[in-house]
Amino acid sequence: MILVTGGAGFIGSNFVLDWLAQSDEPVVNLDALTYAGNRANLAALDGDARHTFVHGDICDRALVDSLLATHRPRAIVHFAAESHVDRSIHGPGAFMKTNVDGTFTLLEAARAHWATLPDGEKAAFRFHHVSTDEVYGSLGPTDPPFAETNPYEPNSPYSASKAASDHLVRAWHHTYGLPVTTSNCSNNYGPYHFPEKLIPLLIVNSLAGKPLPVYGDGQQIRDWLYVTDHCAGIRAVLAGGKLGETYNIGGWNEKANIDIVKTVCALLDELRPDPAGPYSRLITYVTDRPGHDRRYAIDARKIERELGWRPAETFDTGIRKTVQWYLEHADWVANVQSGAYKDWVNTNYADRVG
C-alpha cells in the first residue's frame, strides 16, 4: 500500500493511473479537490478495489494520522501542492498554506507513524517529495542546466514555497532520520493538464477561436517533460533512490515558449483544421508577468547514471499525443472550464493585452 497526496491533480492522477496499470499494489489517494483537482481524472478507477480515494486536506493532521494508522502505507508520494506561478502572484497565501504548512504537517505525521513501525517496515518506509526546477531560479542563455547541486534562488511566491518545502524535507531527514527522497522536475505536459497552463490553454483557446496569449517576446525557455516519463522517474527514485538524495527529472527538451505555440498550432492545423485559417493567426503578445524566469533546463544525468531512467518520449511524440488527447476528450475539457476557471482567465489576462 502507498499513500499518494494530490492524486487527483494533473501529475498525481497520471501517477496513480500509471502505478495501477503496472502494479497491483493498492493506492490511498488523498486530495483536497481544489480547482485543479478533478475526480474525473480517475474515472477509469471507479469500482477498482486497489484505489481508495479520500477527500481531505494535507493540513488536517488528524486525518493524515488516521490514514497512516488505518492503511499503514510503506511509502508516501507527496504531490499535493499549489503549482501555478501566475496564481501565486495574485494570491500567495494559499501557496504558503499548502506547500509549506501542508508539507510540514505531512512530515510530522509521517515521522510519528514511522517511529511506531517494526524494524523491517521502518527500514523499508519512504517519503518521496515531488518538487520543481523553479526552486533553482533562472538560467542565462549559455549557463549549464540545473544540477542537483545548484543553489536555490526562487523568484516567485510559488517557487519560494516549493523551495521551503524542499528544505523542510531535507531537514526532517538530517534531524530526525526520516527516510526521504526528493525529485525536482521540469515543465510537465500531457493528459489531464488543467487548462490554465501553457499547452492546454493553447489547445482549448485555439479550438474556441480565442487569442493565444504569449508573455513578452515569447523567448522564455523551458525543458518539457511528458508526464508519464515523469511518473516513471518517480517510480525509479522510490524503488532505488538513495535516502536523503535529490534527483532532477527532465525531458532533455529545451524549447522557447513561442516555438511551443507554433508547434501546437501546426498540429491543430493538421489534426483539426479551422476553415477560418491557420491557428497561428490567433497568437497575441501580452504584457509579461512579474519576475518571469527566462530559462529553465534540467541536467538529468544523475538519475540516468544511478537509476537507469531516461525519458521515453521526445517532444515531437509527446506533444502529438497530448494534442490528440485533448481533441478526443472534449467533455473533460468542458467540465473543467467552470465559472471559476473563466473568472481566473479574466483576472490573469484581461489587463495584459496591449
Contact 303, 239 (CB under 8 A): no
CB atoms within 10 A of CB 354: 7
The cell numbers describing 140, all together, are 542565462
Type and span of the H or E element at 248: strand 246-249
Catalytic: which of 31, 134, 148, 196?
134
Contact 35, 80 (CB under 8 A): no
Catalytic: which of 31, 57, 86, 133?
133
Mark whether 176 is an active-site residue: no
Instruction: Work out the end-to-end distance of the chain between its first and last CA atoms, rounded to an integer number of angstroms.
Output: 52
Say what angle helices 157-176 and 103-116 make with each other, to 10 degrees: 20
Residues in CB range of 278: below 8 A, 6 or more apart? 265, 269
Pairwise CA distance, residues 131 & 151, whole Å? 15
Which DSSP string do the residues of 97-161 spell out, in sequence order? Answer: IIIIIIHHHHHHHHHHHHHHS-HHHHHH-EEEEEEEGGGG----TTSPPB-TTSPP---SHHHHH
Cα atoms found within 13 Å of the Cα of residue 109, Cβ hemisphere only: 24
Q: How far is CA 79 from CA 127, 150, 151, 303, in A?
A: 11, 22, 23, 19
Task: Kindly report the three-state secondary structure assignment for every residue of 44-106.
Answer: HHCCCCCEEEEECCCCCHHHHHHHHHHHCCCEEEECCCCCCHHHHHHCCHHHHHHHHHHHHHH
- Pair type for strands 187-189 and 180-185: unpaired
Mark whether 196 is an active-site residue: no
**Partners of residue 28 on adjacent β-strands:** 3, 52
Catalytic: which of 158, 189, 247, 296?
158
Nearest residue to 130 (alpha-carbon basis) of 7, 266, 263: 7
Mark whether 31 is an active-site residue: no
Instruction: Using alpha carbons only, give the angle 85, 224, 270 rounded to the nearest 5 degrees.
Output: 110
Pairwise CA distance, residues 206 & 261, whole Å? 10
Q: Which residues are catalytic?
A: 133-134, 158
